A and B are shown apart, each in its own frame.
Chain A
């Protein structure tokens, strides 16, 4: 019964919180309306996410969010410095192929988003069998180090989170 009412408890919770955030006022009426949305939306959309992966390690996920947030701040400063102080002919842009060990679509989506938001890299496309991801790097003299950084810093953490 509980499983049918709440096929995706986390999504229900997120919907309630987002709804309360949108109306920006915590009243009983808003909580009830949010709860209705939190029950109805997961029930209606459950056919669209079969085989969704479970988050194995919620604490690691929180740690991952903090690491990424910090890296975003660092990335901002680094890119700003490159833009301001590096002459154009000394900016060496590279295409980098990063082989993937992750298999679940959700984990790969998170990784691609992370790559785009962090130090001087943008994820562009996948190989057709989704075993590699193509990354464009704004400035580096050592493409292998960038690839190793992406794999060690983000992919290993995501592997632990999504199992």
Chain B
């Protein structure tokens, strides 16, 4: 039983490590900022998630107590990760991409970072 627990926890730690490594490798390998953005927003979610699952299993099965912190970390991570990605990509667009390179909005207004919002009054 003890061995099984250890194998299970190690499995999640190794999975987490592999995804963390792949995410970091992606940062080096991919070509431009927009592509690189995909590596940390995806691959590392499972990287962090794996460590958190391992930690929860450790406290539940070995220490015999339940820990809420991992659930909260997951929650905060899922709320904040898309916002970071969004800020980076918007900044990249403003500095390096002209409006002509983007597809049409298919609406009567342009993309928000280049054109003003419609009059609200």
Contacts and interface: CB of A to CB of B under 8 A. Distances in A.
A95 interface: yes
B17 to A, nearest CB: 13
A9 interface: no
Contacts, number: 137
A163 interface: no
B105 A132 contact: yes
A138 interface: yes
B16 to A, nearest CB: 11
Interface string A19-60: 011101000000000000000000000000000000000000
Interface in B68-103: 68-69, 71-72, 75, 78-79, 81-83, 85-86, 89-90, 93, 101-103
- Size band of the interface chain B makes with A: 35 or more
Interface of B is mostly: helix
Interface in B37-89: 37-39, 41-43, 45-46, 67-69, 71-72, 75, 78-79, 81-83, 85-86, 89
16 contacts: A77-B46, A83-B29, A83-B43, A91-B30, A93-B35, A97-B106, A112-B82, A113-B79, A117-B82, A122-B37, A122-B41, A126-B111, A127-B109, A127-B111, A129-B107, A134-B105
5 interchain residue pairs of minimum CB distance = A21-B68, A116-B82, A127-B105, A76-B46, A128-B109
Interface of A: 18, 20-22, 24, 72-73, 75-77, 79-80, 83-84, 88, 91, 93, 95-97, 99, 112-113, 116-117, 120, 122-132, 134, 136, 138
Interface of B: 19, 22-23, 25-26, 29-31, 34-35, 37-39, 41-43, 45-46, 67-69, 71-72, 75, 78-79, 81-83, 85-86, 89-90, 93, 101-113, 115-118
